[in-house]
Chains A and B, each alone.
Chain A
Amino acid sequence: MTKVINPSVFKAEWRKLRRPTLFLGTMLASAGLTGLVTSLLFLLIDSPQGNSDRGNMISRDVLQLPSGLTIGFSNAAGLLGIVALCVFAAQTAQEYTYGTLRNLLVRQPRRIRLLLGKYVSMASFAIVMVILAAFISMSIAFALSGKAKVVTDAWITSDALQEVAKTFGNVLLSVIAFGTVGMILGLLLRSPISAISLGVIWLLIVENILIAVKSSLGKWMPGNLMSTIAVGGTDKISYIHSVSFVAIYLLVGAAIVATLFKRRDVSN
């Protein structure tokens, strides 16, 4: 395994990921977004305009369930995914725009190893991001439960712990899937701005327009499916369907970009 996923590549990539502006900036953004979504969930609990995604109402009764502790966290998954997409796309495509890919390939000529090492290190970065987001979200949930008159007895049971573990896994899977899309776009377009723009415009705008026009398309749209994974499936789209199709999309995309990356001349 260490032959395929080279520890040197992993460590070298982390030297770039841990630079303060990137690391702290990303972590602050993730914490801020998750904190905002969770805060609104509790602070707008009695608002007639709703307290959740797209004006949905999540009642006090639902929040008092063992799963209530993590609703804010899972609701923020889409935004965390967009952050991951930006980080993965920028970290990959910048190697082309800075011309640093040639340096990397001279020091690690096994291209797939380089790619996998970068991917695994960015995935580990996403894990840190999701852990922090989960901690912030649950802390805020406890802190605001009193003000929102939400009884938290069910949040400190073994069922709640299971819900936390399940939601954490689903959100992490979703965030890494978003990040993978970012990396695929970064490798295809070789420009951070193009990759991030295309990814964000597609996931936040185009998909929503398509789904608004024809709701059945939601079952096939990658962004919608990745968000569905984060919440563990919905009434309309099952968890298994989401995971299966996201896996197919990502595997096909990864196979294409890995082939291109392995064979393409590095001439910039």
Chain B
Amino acid sequence: MVGFLIAPGIFTHLLSVRGRAIVVGMSNLAVAVQDLSKKYGDMFAVSHANFEVPMGTVCGFVGPNGSGKTTTIRMLLGLISPTGGTGEILGHSIKHPERYLSSVGAMIEGPAFYPALTGKENLNVLATLGGYGTDHVQSLLERVGLGDRGGSKYKTYSLGMKQRLGIAASLLPNPKLLILDEPTNGLDPEGIQEIRDLLKSLAQEGTTVFVSSHLLSELELISQHLVMLRKGKVLFAGKIEDLFLAQQPFILVKTPNEIDLIKIQEIAVAAGHKSTIRSGVAHIEGPADWAAELNKAAFAAGITLSQLSPMLPSLEETFFEMTGDSE
């Protein structure tokens, strides 16, 4: 009997053929890495990273510059070899990228194309190389809003157009997993919204999207999962709601005058809640349901409230708190 290590989250079917056990694995994880590390000299670019990305989800990949996001993505795509640890993409080891890359679309560290070729010719090169044929190149250009500029040379493209072409290239294999590194760089707000809608529609079609971005508010709108890196280490990996649940909720209070605001702060502190006043607004740590108590206490003290808002920290605030970054 052959023994198998079955990774968590893997649907397995055990078959018996001529007395031998065979595992036919169909992973429900698009990405799974265990202790993945990359060391340059004495410095870990990525240190013992562990995370999973379930199939069919949009997973945000966040971290400050130099936190190891691009290095991790490059390891997942077989472009650089890990120093240690293992990883699986679509159920295949990252040691054999040839087994899964035909189902993976990727844009790494910004778009890179041949300047003297047109956008369409650039996509044709990659479509031919991947063996996908060039029939759907025009429809991809239209999908990313470059339908009428496909015949222009890449060197004439704006940064936003280059970014769109990069996204179109990543869609060439009709991927099961899409890995995008900062896809909204250089896009205007309208372009950002278009890419957000595109990623949402891809996810609805069943494509798993693993996307790194500095625009955390964008990721908050589209991601169900999140992997957070700092200095090569994974700080958080999991459902985005679990991240917020672990965060301290707070209440924002505004009064018509500063004296009343100080009184509100005293009420909060007396009730055991931390409070700070910033830019004429009291930030009181406390659950949403305590807002009603505060309202009652303010009324009793003759204080009029002009704002009383129970809040959860945004992804950006959570990110800064966890990474210790304030820029």
Most buried by A among B79, B101, B108, B173: B79
A266 interface residue, CB < 8 Å from B?
yes
CA distance A15 to B130 in the complex (A): 13
CA distance A15 to B114 in the complex (A): 11
Q: Mark A12-33, 1 if CB is under 8 A from B, else 0.
A: 1001100101100000000000
Q: Mark B167-190, 1 if CB is under 8 A from A, else 0.
A: 001001100000000000000000
Residues of B within 8 A of A244 (CB): none
Q: How far is the CB of A122 from chain B (nearest CB, A)?
A: 15
In chain A between 96 and 129, which residues have their CB closer than 8 angstroms to a CB of chain B?
A: 98-100, 102-110
Q: Mark B268-291, 1 if CB is under 8 A from A, else 0.
A: 000000000000000000000000
Q: B125, A21: Cβ atoms under 8 Å?
A: no
Residues of B within 8 A of A94 (CB): 114
Chain A: interface residue count, which band? 20 to 34
B17 interface residue, CB < 8 Å from A?
no
Q: B125, A15: Cβ atoms under 8 Å?
A: yes
- Total CB contacts across the A-B interface at under 8 A: 80
Chain A residues proximal to chain B, CB less than 8 Å: 8-9, 11-12, 15-16, 19, 21-22, 94, 98-100, 102-110, 263, 265-267
Q: A8, B112: Cβ atoms under 8 Å?
A: no
In chain B between 85 and 117, which residues have their CB closer than 8 angstroms to a CB of chain A?
A: 97-98, 101, 104, 106, 108-110, 112-117
CA distance A98 to B155 in the complex (A): 11
CA distance A217 to B254 in the complex (A): 89
Residues of B within 8 A of A266 (CB): 74, 79-80
Residues of A within 8 A of B115 (CB): 98
Most buried by B among A9, A103, A105, A109: A103
In chain B between 114 and 136, which residues have their CB closer than 8 angstroms to a CB of chain A?
A: 114-117, 121, 124-126, 128-131
Q: A16, B125: Cβ atoms under 8 Å?
A: yes
Q: B130, A8: Cβ atoms under 8 Å?
A: yes
CA distance A100 to B122 in the complex (A): 10
Task: Say whether, besides A8-B131, A102-B112, A110-B98, A15 and B80 are in contact (CB < 8 Å).
Answer: no
Q: How far is the CB of A117 from chain B (nearest CB, A)?
A: 9
CA distance A11 to B130 in the complex (A): 11
Residues of A within 8 A of B130 (CB): 8, 107-108
Q: How far is the CB of A212 from chain B (nearest CB, A)?
A: 40
Q: Nearest 3 A-B pairs (CB), nearest first?
A: A99-B112, A12-B129, A265-B80
Residues of B within 8 A of A8 (CB): 128-131
- For B172, the closest partner residue in chain A by CB is A107
Residues of B within 8 A of A267 (CB): 71, 74, 79-80
